[in-house]
Amino acid sequence: MLAQELATTWLLVEGGPDGATVVVGWFCRACVPAGPVAEVACAVCADGPLLAGELATGAARQMFEEWLVGQGWRSRGALVDGVVLCPRCAPVPAAAPALSPAPDPDGAGGDGGWRLW
């Protein structure tokens, strides 16, 4: 059960107004972030992260959309309001310029790449 809980990817905003950034986290049931929660789900495979705090309310919408695009998510309409496809289900064509992965601002390790469960 704990392994399933820790497999859920969460997106949060950390830092103040001058240094706010979207970060990825994994939490057990007892440690999940308080406040509003929303989800993003790929239209094909239904995988995607849970959004916490400002991301769930839409207050950090532009920052969130930039993070999704940077991780390879695609959409035909407005990214958050439209149908979204994860990088596995809508890979970037070879001719498209490569997008660099999101940085690892908290220094927690990893390559900064997107990971779906």
Beta-strand (E) ranges in the chain? Answer: 10-14, 21-25, 37-39, 50-52, 74-75, 84-85
How do residues 28-37 score in pLDDT, each as one tens digit?
888 888 889 9
How do residues 39-64 score in pLDDT, each as one tens digit?
989 989 999 999 998 888 888 888 88
**Predicted local confidence at residue 114, as pLDDT:** 46
| 18: pLDDT strictly greater than 80 | no
**Predicted local confidence at residue 112, as pLDDT:** 46
Residues 6+ apart with CB under 8 A from 7: 26, 117
- The token pair at 79 is 């990214």
How do residues 58-100 score in pLDDT, each as one tens digit?
888 888 888 888 998 888 665 555 688 999 987 766 555 555 5
**Predicted local confidence at residue 45, as pLDDT:** 92
**Predicted local confidence at residue 91, as pLDDT:** 72
| 105: pLDDT strictly greater than 60 | no
Please tell me the pTM assigned to this model.
0.66
